């Protein structure tokens, strides 16, 4: 593979106790056509580790961060993740793809990231999930067409109040993914997008993803496959049949939970605004009372 033949470049951040999984990921991703940068294979004696890793992150497309009991206590791995996050924020293009191992608690800098869940050293499973996620990031963004102004009668019947609870309204059949079906593990799974009654807020979307990833709803539940994009819930790594039998009820339950969380957050915000308004009114009253007591020559 020449430097210009690979699909994308991937940097693997890991603690050396997780080397076996890191090597398995590197092998699997390279077989799929990705260029993989792993510190043990690239750093030379005398190199400045910080300078080399920083330089690598400046040229890399994706950072795969292995999050395990070993790495969450490693200052070096935390440094690598910090560098990656800084690069992602400072410029577009670099994406951090966390791989959570054995349900370890995610570090604060990655709590709002969608992650790939892996048990033990299953590099095959992790490779499949990561490759699917990278493919989604590399796919060209769908062009949003100009708004078509429907007749007033139609618009009035289809508008959803911004205060109305969000509902799942169906499957976006046009957005269904296609399984690879190449005989490898997980190759029969694909993307199933679900339509929502309206586009939720960013806070709602973040809460939905955290609730999905952090809960155990059934033996068929898959943490890490759900995300929110626009007015769609994306279940990436399942089938329509599996959604109908197992995931749809979970989606509905998490949607209800996200609705309740947003309702409580909005109520708390309203109370805080009222408190501030009352405090300001009292301050103005004190000012006016003081002004009325003043006498000037």
Compare 286 and 159 and report the one with higher pLDDT.
286
pLDDT, average across residues 73-78: 69
Rounded to whole angstroms, the Cα distance separating 235 from 51 reads: 38
On average, the pLDDT of the chain sits at 78
Two structure tokens written together for 15? 């603690």
Q: Which helix (H) or strand (E) holds 170?
A: strand 168-171
CA 76 and chain centroid, separation: 24
Give me the domains of the chain, ranges plus CATH numbers.
Answer: 9-138 (3.40.50.10140), 166-271 (no CATH)
State pTM to two decimals. 0.45
DSSP string, 106-119: PPGGGTTS--EEE-
For the chain, counts of helices (H) and of strands (E) = 9, 9
Two structure tokens written together for 83? 């560098």
Rounded to whole angstroms, the Cα distance separating 181 from 185 reads: 9
157-207 per-position pLDDT tens digit: 345 566 789 999 999 998 898 888 888 888 889 999 999 999 999 889 988
Q: Which helix (H) or strand (E) holds 229?
A: strand 226-229
Across the strands, what pairs with 36? Answer: 10
Q: Are 135 and 144 in contact (CB under 8 A)?
A: no
Rounded to whole angstroms, the Cα distance separating 26 from 143 reads: 33
Rounded to whole angstroms, the Cα distance separating 264 from 254 reads: 15
Rounded to whole angstroms, the Cα distance separating 213 from 116 reads: 10
Identify which of 127, 54, 52 has the alpha carbon closest to the alpha carbon of residue 97. 127
Q: Are 111 and 96 in contact (CB under 8 A)?
A: no
**DSSP designation for 174:** G
Reported confidence tier of residue 151, pLDDT bands at 50, 70, 90: very low
Place of tokens 């969380």: 261
Cβ burial, residue 136 (10 Å; 0-12/13-18/19+): middle
214-245 per-position pLDDT tens digit: 776 677 788 888 999 899 999 998 999 999 99
Strands of the 35-38 sheet, one edge to the other: 35-38, 9-13, 62-67, 95-101, 116-118
Strands of the 232-238 sheet, one edge to the other: 168-171, 190-196, 232-238, 226-229
């Amino acid at each position: 593979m020449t430097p210009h033949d690979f699909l994308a470049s991937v940097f693997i951040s890991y603690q050396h106790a997780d080397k076996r999984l890191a090597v398995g990921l590197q092998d699997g991703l390279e077989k799929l056509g990705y260029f993989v940068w792993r510190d043990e294979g690239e750093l030379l004696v005398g190199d400045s580790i910080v300078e080399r890793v920083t330089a690598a992150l400046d040229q890399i497309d994706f950072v795969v961060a292995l999050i395990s009991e070993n790495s969450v206590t490693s200052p070096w791995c935390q440094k690598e993740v910090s560098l990656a996050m800084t690069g992602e924020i400072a410029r577009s293009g670099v994406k951090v793809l966390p791989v959570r191992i054995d349900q370890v608690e995610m570090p604060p800098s990655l709590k709002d990231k969608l992650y790939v869940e892996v048990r033990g050293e299953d590099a095959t499973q992790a490779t499949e999930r990561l490759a699917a996620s990278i493919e989604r990031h590399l796919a060209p963004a769908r062009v949003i067409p100009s708004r078509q102004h429907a007749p007033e009668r139609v618009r009035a019947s289809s508008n959803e109040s911004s205060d109305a609870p969000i509902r799942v309204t169906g499957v976006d059949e046009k957005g269904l993914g296609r399984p690879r079906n190449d005989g490898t593990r997980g190759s029969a799974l694909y993307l199933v997008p679900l339509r929502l009654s309206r586009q939720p807020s960013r806070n709602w979307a973040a809460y939905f993803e955290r609730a999905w990833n952090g809960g155990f709803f059934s033996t068929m539940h898959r943490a890490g496959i759900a995300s929110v994009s626009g007015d769609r819930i994306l279940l990436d790594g399942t089938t329509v049949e599996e959604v109908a039998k197992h995931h749809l009820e979970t989606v509905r339950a998490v949607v209800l939970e996200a609705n309740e969380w947003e309702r409580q957050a909005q109520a708390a915000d309203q109370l805080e605004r009222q408190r501030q308004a009352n405090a300001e009114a009292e301050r103005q009253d004190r000012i006016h009372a003081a002004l009325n007591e003043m006498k000037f020559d």
